[in-house]
Amino acid sequence: MTATKPRPNDLLHRYDQAGFYDELFGGRDQPAPHTALIRERLASLAFDDIHRRSDDAARELYNLGITFLVYSEQEAIDRILPFDVIPRVISAQEWAHLETGIVQRVTALNLFLRDIYNDRKIIRDGVIPEDLVIGNSNYRPQMIGLKVPFDTYIHILGVDLVRDGDGVFRVLEDNGRVPSGVSYVVENRHMMQRVFPDLMQGLGIRPIDNYGQKLLQAVSEIAPPGISEPRVVLLSPGSYNSAYFEHIFLAREMGVPLVEGRDLVVQDDRVYMKTTNGLAVVDSIYRRIGDDFLDPRAFNTDSLLGVPGILDAYRKGNVALANAIGTGVADDKAVYCYVPRMIKYYLGEEAIIPNVETHICREAEGLAYTLDNLATLVVKPVGEAGGYGITLGPLASRAELDDCRTKLLADPSNYISQPMIPLSVCPTLTESGVEPRHVDLRPFAVTGRHTWVLPGGLTRVAMRKDTFIVNSSQGGGSKDTWVLEDTSP
Amino acid sequence: MNNLLARYAESIFWMARYMERAENLARILDVHETFSRDDHGFKNWHTIVKLNGDDQRFFERYDAASAENVVRFYILDPQNPTSIVFAVRAARENARTLRPWISTEMWAQINVLYNKVQALDSKDIALPNLTHLCSEIKEACQTHSGITEGTFYRDEGWYFYRLGKFIERADQTTRLLDIGYFAIMGSAPDPRASQDFIHWHALLRSVAGYHAFRRVYPRGMAPAAIAGFILYNESFPRSVALCAREINGVLTRLKSRYKLRGGSAAMERIDEILAALSSRSIERVIEGGLHEYLDWLQLRLSDVTSELTRSFFGQAESEESQQQRQ
């Protein structure tokens, strides 16, 4: 290992990881050897040069319309997801550990879903409280007793991971309904290849651009039996959805039509799409519409996005859906606390990637602890997505804490609390230089017959100084995530 | 065979139409700016509003048909379905729907044009800058055509693209001729006046037809010859006759190649147009009223669109497409 000598105009010379675990520099006393070459290359870049390339990348993202919609009170604004050009790098060993942990997790979640929609053994054995599962608003009685191909319910899982002060990866949240973000993973890589080919050369970065093909394979595998070339479509809520760009991206990568509810009709429990030559059968649907809006006849009757009758076609086995209906009960923030026990129960193993310590406010003990330690805890509503409604105890004002306390007491079972994890940082380009910013990681697992994990995932970065909130809806950005090839003999 | 999603076919058709419309609006404004350079001012700018059938909508929001108001109405006004901003935005919305289908280069170019047009302000549309702006927009639309020609995959979608393009072009040619012809004949009915020579010249240039016209008619500038050329010439790319023939050919190939059941009614409508175009000389058309004849053509072209919508774009006409069919 060679130590890089700091030079006076070195881009990283004055960089201070501020006591946090750093994705490029490692822990306080454990330097990250796998990033040595990358740090050296970064250090040799002039600040002006890296800034110019960063501006080029932003302009290109805007011109390509790689954007998401943000809704303010009056209007919808097309924004690019801020892209930071300094990559996050994961070693081959770290990744091998994460990959195994993610496969373990998705396996357990699928076993759990099969169980709760069939025998309910885990409930009878008292591992998880019945009302948390059966009484969950995301539990779908329509799924009871229904057999799904390969017993796979969650075909696409996004796992939100954070890295704590000791460099330990922990699961913060599972996304097993319609997880998004994978398009940015691939687009960020393309952008880096265009803007920083010199930084990447010869490093042995694992490729990621076969995601679409892996997804198509999984969605085709689950098509009704006896169809040699199933017709697959991607069902989107439409161009006003904030993730519409991703729907476009995935439809292209899979080479399948992107349809909306109005393009599909159900006749005699079969799903058809409207073509220039009349109706054509659809066999398998990658749907980016939540359960609630999928079938106005079965769920939310006001929904104009869905396809009336699609549930019946699904129940008859005439069409496949990915993800399956009713997976929301497995990625619920309250059920999340039980996942390590689930893993033990179904697989007889310890969780390879641990959870973040979590207090369940629906339980008296958890509520009491939370109320007593409000100022040091993060309190999250269990039903919200996108980082909304979160109170960060250590950063909250007195009034915010009081407000949080009131809400907790009014509806304890809507909340969980967790210690404030000092999220790891990664060097990030700012106006004034390279500074540490907090990051998380969302890897994606695709499961049909087997599970495949995309190497790396989406690294989200809190672009504002000192904030832990990485959500795109709240000013977060993203980085390219490099998983290095295993070079050990 | 996997046929095209009906909604994609519709979006491709309208994307092509709106880009073609944006180009032609730029041409109309440009040629009009030339007409108004000498003192016909007010009256001339009103002609453009009248001939587009926009009188009511225009005067709902503007007091007078001043050059400034009319130019604003046709370039910047997002509420006006015949403005450049509206056309480019609609093209971009359709392109956005089609992003899984069209090439990245097509999308990016339309998106950049849209961002540019959105950023236009009063200074950009001031009369001294108008010609420059119009040619920029025209060239952006031509760039779109070039990128499309070079990158758009040639399957069913390509045929709907061509249908949209030629229907819109034929329609816009009738409007351009209408506006130009009456602006000149209405202001000074003496076609031999030298001032008018300049105007006929400008009209032909606005459809990029001056040199082609000269090849057919080396001498003179008779109004009937010019109108006849713009309507009937079989080799002139913006003539109504050439567009109608293209539409007919595209429909025939579309049906045979992709075994589409629908589309017969649209073919009948286009046959009517072709028959009308070949059965009357331009002199007889002018005698009977050129404006009325051009109106009739516009209505028949609109019928073709309705038939395409009914046959190929999904059974029920969605609200959205009704809005688009301005």
Q: Which amino acid is at A245?
A: F
Q: Is A275 on the interface with B (CB under 8 A)?
A: yes
Q: Are A333 and A365 contained in the same domain? A: no
Q: Is residue A391 part of a domain?
A: yes
**How far is it, in rounded angstroms, from Cα A1 to Cα A7?**
18
Q: Are A141 and A100 contained in the same domain? A: yes
Q: Determine whether the interchain pair A280/B8 forms a contact, defined as Cβ–Cβ distance below 8 Å.
A: no
- Which has the closest alpha carbon to A423: A201, A189, A160? A160
Q: What is the edge-to-edge ordering of all strands in the sheet holding A320-322?
A: A258-259, A232-235, A284-287, A320-322
Q: Are A377 and A241 contained in the same domain? A: no
Of B2, B7, B258, the CB nearest to A263: B7
Q: Are A137 and A255 contained in the same domain? A: yes
- Which has the closest alpha carbon to B277: B212, B233, B308, B246? B233
Q: Are A270 and A412 contained in the same domain? A: no
C-alpha distances in Å from residue A105, one per residue of A25, A339, A342, A349, B54: 29, 8, 9, 11, 63
Given a cut of 90, whether residue A53 has pLDDT beyond it is yes
C-alpha distances in Å from residue B279, one per residue of A361, A436, B238, B248, B276: 84, 77, 20, 17, 5
Nearest CA in chain A to B107: A64
Q: How far is A248 from chain B (nearest CA, A)?
A: 5
Chain A hits for B308, CB-CB cut-off 8 Å, are: none
Nearest CA in chain B to A281: B2
- Helix B127-151 to helix B104-118 angle (10° resolution) is 170
Q: Are A171 and A138 contained in the same domain? A: yes
Q: Among A347, A371, A404, give the residue marking a domain's end.
A: A347
Q: Determine whether the interchain pair B9/A276 forms a contact, defined as Cβ–Cβ distance below 8 Å.
A: yes
Q: Are A142 and A224 contained in the same domain? A: yes
Q: Is residue A179 part of a domain?
A: yes
Q: Is B314 on the interface with A (CB under 8 A)?
A: yes
Q: What is the largest CA-CA distance in chain B?
A: 61
Per the CB < 8 A criterion, the answer to whether A476 and A458 are in contact is no
Q: Is B318 on the interface with A (CB under 8 A)?
A: yes
Of B96, B115, B261, the CB nearest to A278: B261
- Report how many domains make up chain A: 2
Q: Is residue A85 part of a domain?
A: no
Given a cut of 80, whether residue B38 has pLDDT beyond it is no
DSSP A22: B
Q: Which amino acid is at A302?
A: D
Residue range B263-288: average pLDDT? 94
Q: Is residue B233 part of a domain?
A: yes
Under the banding of pLDDT at 50, 70 and 90, the label for residue A5 is very low
Q: Is B9 on the interface with A (CB under 8 A)?
A: yes
Q: What is the pLDDT of residues A229-277, one digit of tens each?
A: 999 999 999 988 888 889 999 999 999 999 999 999 999 999 999 999 9
Q: What is the pLDDT of residues B83-141, one digit of tens each?
A: 999 999 999 999 998 988 999 999 999 999 999 999 999 999 988 899 899 999 999 99
Q: Are A365 and A218 contained in the same domain? A: no
- Report how many domains make up chain B: 1
**How far is it, in rounded angstroms, from Cα B313 to Cα B146?**
26
Q: Is A263 on the interface with B (CB under 8 A)?
A: yes
Q: Which residues contact B127 (CB under 8 A, 6 or more apart)?
A: B33, B67, B68, B71
Of A258, A260, A277, the CB nearest to B261: A277
Q: Are A251 and A370 contained in the same domain? A: no
Residue range B34-43: average pLDDT? 53
Q: Among A397, A419, A441, give the residue marking a domain's end.
A: A419
Nearest CA in chain B to A246: B100
Q: Is residue A410 part of a domain?
A: yes
Q: Is residue A76 part of a domain?
A: no
pTM above 0.80, yes or no: yes
- Which has the closest alpha carbon to A483: A34, A20, A25? A34
Q: Is residue A66 part of a domain?
A: no
Given a cut of 70, whether residue B315 has pLDDT beyond it is no
Q: Are A224 and A302 contained in the same domain? A: yes
% of chain A exceeding 70 in pLDDT: 95
Q: Determine whether the interchain pair B100/A251 forms a contact, defined as Cβ–Cβ distance below 8 Å.
A: yes
Q: Which amino acid is at A104?
A: Q
Q: Are A229 and A285 contained in the same domain? A: yes
Residue to mutate among B13, B15, B99, with most A CBs inside 10 A, is: B99
CA Rg value for chain B? 19
Q: Is residue B1 part of a domain?
A: no
Q: What is the pLDDT of residues A269-313, one digit of tens each?
A: 999 999 999 999 999 999 999 999 999 998 888 878 899 999 999
Nearest CA in chain A to B110: A63
Q: Determine whether the interchain pair A62/B115 forms a contact, defined as Cβ–Cβ distance below 8 Å.
A: yes
Q: Determine whether the interchain pair B6/A239 forms a contact, defined as Cβ–Cβ distance below 8 Å.
A: no
Q: What angle do CA A333, A338, A340 make, to 5 degrees?
A: 120
Q: Which domain holds residue B192?
A: 6-324
**How far is it, in rounded angstroms, from Cα B157 to Cα B11?**
10
Q: The domain spanning residue A378 has which CATH number? A: 3.30.1490.270
Q: What is the ipTM of this complex?
A: 0.86
Q: Determine whether the interchain pair B3/A275 forms a contact, defined as Cβ–Cβ distance below 8 Å.
A: yes
Q: Is residue A87 part of a domain?
A: no
Token code pair at residue A37 = 């070459």
Q: Is residue A388 part of a domain?
A: yes
Q: Which domain holds residue A169?
A: 94-184+207-347
**A190 vs B179: which has the higher pLDDT:** A190
**How far is it, in rounded angstroms, from Cα A332 to Cα A134?**
12
Residue to mutate among A66, A275, A285, with most B CBs inside 10 A, is: A275
Token code pair at residue A449 = 């017959």
Of A62, A251, A274, the CB nearest to B6: A274
- Which has the closest alpha carbon to A472: A61, A64, A69, A73? A69
Q: What is the pLDDT of residues A332-386, one digit of tens each?
A: 888 999 999 999 999 999 999 999 999 989 889 999 999 999 999 999 988 665 5
